[in-house]
Every structure is written in structure tokens, then in C-alpha cells.
Amino acid sequence: MEKKTFLTLFVVLVISQVNCRNSSTLKTRKKAQILGFDWKNCGQPDAPAVLKSLKVSPDPISIPGDLTASASGSTSVELASPLSLNVTLEKEVAGFWVKIPCLEELGSCHYKDACDLLNQVIPPGQDCPEPLPTYGLPCHCPFKAGSYSLPESDFYLPDMDLPYWLTNGHYRVQGVLGSQGQELGCLKIALALHSD
């Protein structure tokens, strides 16, 4: 992800799918574990925004709990508002991948501006959370063209409300970032979720 370009995409994908803070959907506070986290680029070979590396540990990742992550990536263009984000969320059911529809802005949804999603997570004017400032990584649009990296860093994942329909199972998430009808980058994430 990065210089927040790709960490941003990852954060937007994960938080938009799990946080649910603007959703009135029935929520349940659960302890959860993420197992078998994997990722890959799914854009064209010449895509402007590319994640080059992403490592997370431990496996499983506990929520709430500690997470260690490192990432690097690059963008050959400035990423500025509006940045469209098309998310496809699928769950494996009886050996088949089933697309989860967009339910109150969660699931397989189109977001008109990923920059707005970031502003919901970290309001404008609020300091970026550590360790981003330590490494000169922004947390708001625009993201200047360039190469970015986040050295191995520790994070704490707080307790969060999970929507009632986000049950145990295997999930795939694909996020396609775009601007003015042009695809800028694509990222696929696979994981298994286990919650109490």
C-alpha cells in the first residue's frame, strides 16, 4: 500500500467492509480472528498505482489485538479526489464464491470517492495516527506520485462491531481504484474470518 497510497487502499477496503460505524444494520460485538491473509495486484501491468509488498503478522490476527505490518508501493500519478472505489466482496459457500450485495454501504459497493471514506476514518484536521507521521506518510488525499514504504510497524486493532451477516468463513475482497473513468489500480485480498 503506499506511502499511504496503498496502505490507504487497504485501510479503505478493510474499514469500509468491517467498521460499520455509519450503518444501522444490526451489529454484534464479537472477538474475531483473521486467518490466511493473502493479497495480490489485479490491475494491468502498467497500472499507475501498484502495491509492491505487504506483510502482516501474526497469523491468525486477533481483533482486538496487535498487528505487525510492512508495505511498499508506488503511484506514477497523483491520487486526488474524487477517487472512485469499486469493491467486490465474496464469501465461499459450499465450494462456490457468492457475491455479497451492497447492504447499507457495506459489501460489494461502489464508492464515489475513496478520499471521503478516509475522511470518515480520520477526520480532516486530525493528526494522522502513528507510525504514519514518523515515516512521512499522509493519511488524506491527495497522494503525490512517487514510491512509498512503511517499514515493519506495530499497530493495535481495537474491538469493533461486526455486522450480523459477516459470519465465519472464507472471503475475497477486490478493490478497483479509478479516476475519470480510468482504472488506477486493483488489489485482491483473501482471508478467513472466525468470530465468537
Fold annotation for 5-195: Ganglioside M2 Activator Protein; Chain: A, (2.70.220)
- Count Cβ atoms within 10 A of the Cβ of residue 48 and give its class: 0-12 exposed, 13-18 middle, 19 or more buried: buried
63-83 confidence digits (pLDDT tens): 899 999 999 999 999 999 999
118-140 confidence digits (pLDDT tens): 999 899 989 998 888 998 898 99
Cell numbers given for 89? 466482496
pLDDT of residue 163: 79
Cell numbers given for 29? 460485538
pLDDT of residue 30: 60
Every domain of the chain and the residues it spans: 5-195
84-119 confidence digits (pLDDT tens): 999 999 999 999 999 999 988 889 999 999 999 999
Name the residue with higher pLDDT: 40 or 27: 40
Residue 59 phi, psi dihedral angles, 5° rounding: -130, 110
